[in-house]
Amino acid sequence: MKTAITKQQQTIDQLPKGCVKPMFVFVVMTLLGKDVYKLRNEQYERRFSLSTALRIGIHSCKAIQELHQCKFLSRDIKPSNYAVGLRENNQHKTIFLFDFGLARRFVDRSGKHVKSRGEVGWRGTNRYGSLNAHLRLDLSRRDDLESWFYMLVEISRGALPWRFVKEREAAEKAKKHARGAGRCELLQKCPKQYDEILKMIDALAFEEDPDYDRIYSLFDEVRESNHIKMEDRYDWEEESEVTSSGSTVGGVQLEALLQRAHLNLEQNIADASAKVDTKQQQHAYVRTKETLHA
């Protein structure tokens, strides 16, 4: 996974550092802001304005496209796996995809798309899982986009019709209902272009490459008709944040805090590694002493 993601990927959070030591396995991730799930919960009626929801939709879709270009599936697309970048890194307008715990490569060593394995068990999250996930079928790129679409609708209208449904079978039934008589309820308060996007996703075959450009063109239609610019202020941004050159926390520059936290982390890693090395030396000494007395 780490070798597939290159610097050309702009909306996938990369793992710049990692280490495996006896008793310790850790990675150091890029520091990001709040995830989309938390940001949505802070908004009035738990939903974003059309401007913010639309731009999150564009960034989050591009992140999926970049992941697919790396020949990987997420299989767990949801709002809590997206987070906004930091202003200090000039990434506060970008939404990043992270957490690839269920990611899987969808091509073989020759570069060909793998065949469906049929029924493989549940993958994903109940609220955002695709219909194929509910059938326990092997997932592909279309399923990442279906989960993404549910997220898009949720952040646009405030909730999904199956928000309080806990049982997977009931959630599956609600999602099927949303394809028929419940379609208007699902897309309530959403632009008409969302209906076209859902039709595109539902029509995809297992091995088919999604038409991302068509999705972006539909988003552009909504942006143009509503005079939405990509550089507009997000709902969670304060006016002072937009006009100020630097963010502060309690009067202390956030950048300084981040640098201090980074140094502390590096020191903690070094201390932990030193402790492990010391224990290894002690164990080796004891074993040598026991051998001499044997």
Query: Can you give the chain as a three-state secondary structure string?
Result: CCCCCCCCCCCECCCCEEEEECCEEEEECCCCCCEHHHHHHCCHHHCCCHHHHHHHHHHHHHHHHHHHHCCEECCCCCHHHEEECCHHHCCCCCEEECCCCCCEECECCCCCECCCCCECCCCCCCCCCCHHHHCCECCCHHHHHHHHHHHHHHHHHCCCCCCCCCCHHHHHHHHHHCCCCCHHHHCCCCCCHHHHHHHHHHCCCCCCCCCHHHHHHHHHHHHHHCCCCCCCCCCCCCHHHHHCCCCEECCEEHHHHHHHHHHHHHHHHHHHHHHHHHHHHHHHHHHHHHHHHC
Q: Is residue 219 part of a domain?
A: yes
- For tokens 């898009």, the residue is 152
Residue 284's Cβ-side half-sphere holds a number of Cα atoms within 13 Å equal to 6
**What single letter denotes the amino acid at residue 184?**
C
pLDDT of amino acid 30: 83
Same domain, 99 and 223: yes
Which is higher by pLDDT, 269 or 211? 211
Q: Is residue 1 part of a domain?
A: no
* pLDDT band (50, 70, 90) for residue 6: very low
pLDDT of amino acid 280: 57
Average pLDDT on 139-168 reads 97
Same domain, 52 and 184: yes
pLDDT of amino acid 273: 63
Same domain, 281 and 195: no
Q: Is residue 207 part of a domain?
A: yes
Q: Is residue 9 part of a domain?
A: no
Same domain, 154 and 216: yes
| Structural domains in the chain (count) | 2
Q: Considering only 181-190, 225-234, 259-268, which range has the smallest mean pLDDT?
A: 259-268
pLDDT digits (tens, 9 = 90+) for 101-134: 899 999 999 999 999 999 998 999 999 999 999 9
Q: Considering only 82-86, 181-185, 214-218, 241-245, which range has the smallest mean pLDDT?
A: 241-245
Question: Domain holding 161: CATH number?
Answer: 1.10.510.10
Q: Is residue 11 part of a domain?
A: no
Same domain, 113 and 158: yes
- Whether the Cβ atoms of residue 75 and residue 139 lie closer than 8 Å to each other: yes
Same domain, 207 and 278: no
pLDDT of amino acid 2: 42
Q: Considering only 183-197, 216-230, 255-269, which range has the smallest mean pLDDT?
A: 255-269
Same domain, 269 and 184: no
Same domain, 116 and 88: yes
Average pLDDT on 158-173 reads 96
Same domain, 268 and 212: no
- Residue 96 sits in which domain range? 17-235
pLDDT of amino acid 80: 97
Boundary residue ending a domain (235, 260, 275): 235
Q: Is residue 189 part of a domain?
A: yes
Task: Point out the residues that are catalytic.
Answer: 76
Average pLDDT on 57-86 reads 97
Residue 137 confidence (pLDDT) above 70: yes
Boundary residue ending a domain (204, 235, 266): 235
* pLDDT band (50, 70, 90) for residue 61: very high
pLDDT digits (tens, 9 = 90+) for 269-287: 666 666 655 555 555 554 5
